[in-house]
Amino acid sequence: MATSGGDSSILEEELTCPVCLDLYRDPHLLPCGHNFCLPCLRRLKSRSDHGRLRCPECRQSHRSSASWQKNFKLANIADSFRRRPQSDRHSRSGPPHTHAEVRCDYCPKEDGEKDPKAVKTCLKCEVSMCAKHVQPHLELPAFREHPLVEPLKDMRKRKCVEHDEMFKYYCVDERLFLCNACTIEGTHNGHIIKTLKNTMRDLKVCVDIQMHKVNRKIVKVEKIRQEQKEIERQNKAYLDDTEGHLEAFRETSIAQLDAFLSSMRDCVHTHEVEQGSGVQQNLSRIAQDHTRLQGVHSGLDRLLQENDPFQFIKEYNSSEKRYRRLLRTPLFFPDEPTVDTEPLYETVEGKMTEFIAELRLQASTLISTICHFEGADGVDEDEEESFEDDYNDSGSEVDDEEEMRSEEEENLSTGAETADEEYTPEEDDDDDEVEEEDDDEDDD
């Protein structure tokens, strides 16, 4: 996936060592959480004072003899980014996204040349410095307490508008940044006043609490999501299984219906055969009567065709008795011609009853199979307790927010009991004098 120019510039900035201002090479991690190249850390260690090494980023002090843990993941990312073509590191559509362009206050501005770019701003010296001029702040003990931040183009954002001094303190009650003069004038008497560093430390405690609660809710959301995924999988498996049962029922029902229709066809044919045998007997006897009468008709017709009186009388005397006997023979009259379907009805109705009973049994079995739920009569006690816990947690979100706000106020206000947070301007002046004496001793 291609990375946009802005994202690439931000990534390059995050992968830049704050000391050498180059991409990380063998980055190692200080206890405060900041990363630096191993050669840069060794150089800072060689210039450390009293066996203490100060982080160039947050100025926290660490033992020089402490072991440094290599950040393998950051090293792999930096090496991969370094191997990318130079043209892919920057955006083609515009300049890379960086902090506001701030020029170095120490480098002279020459005509026709680009202004040297500042990489850090010292809040105590109120100057912005390039990579060359920031080295003394990173290495010399005299600048140990000078806070370095990202380059600031407008220093007025960090200054008090009324007294034109840098913000050093924070009023917890009114949530206002204060300078040294603001604390001396007494407009914040009785208020809880803290240094910016201590305020950040206390607020980070609140952020950590919120982060813990967020992580806890993320775990719950992930658990709910996994449960829904499992329900979705079970529903799909249930649907596929139901489709298989329905298809099997359809095939079985069609086979049974075909068998039922075939049995009905056989019954009708059997009934037809039984009924047809009696009709054939009737037809046979009727044919006999027809043949006999046809013989009498033929004999009488021959007598009528005879013109010789002698011959006519002779044949009449010889056949008259036989013809009379044949005519006196009664004709066969069958019963009323009806089709008796009552036996057929009883047989077919019995087979239909069997077919419907078998079909109903299979349909009931199918319904019981696809609509069977284990544990439908009750809910497991563990599931009930889990549901109640989730409900109570989700229903107390408003209470959690109020609790977080109260914890924030408590963390900020409890610091008033410590000596560091019970600030007086005289203590700050004393600290400055102590720092100047230490610097003089170092120079000596």
SS (H, E, C) 328-344: HCCCCCCCCCCCCCHHH
DSSP class of residue 34 equals: -
Question: What's residue 2's pLDDT?
Answer: 43
Residue type, 34: H
Mean pLDDT for all residues in the chain: 77
- Under a CB-based contact definition with an 8 Å cutoff, are residues 273 and 343 in contact? no
Highest mean pLDDT among 73-77, 340-344, 394-398, 408-412: 73-77
Tell me which of 119-123, 159-163, 358-362, 374-378 is least confident.
374-378
* CA–CA dist 183, 425 (Å, integer): 7
Cβ-Cβ contacts under 8 Å for 171 (sequence gap 6 or more): 177, 178, 188, 191, 192, 193
Q: Which two tokens stand for residue 44?
A: 């800072």
Choice between 223 and 99, residue whose per-residue pLDDT is larger: 223
Highest mean pLDDT among 133-137, 339-343, 359-363: 359-363
Beta-carbon neighbour count of residue 41 at 10 Å? 23
* CA–CA dist 376, 244 (Å, integer): 23
Question: What's residue 226's pLDDT?
Answer: 94
**What share of the chain in percent tops pLDDT 90?**
12
Q: What is the mean pLDDT of residues 17-23?
A: 81
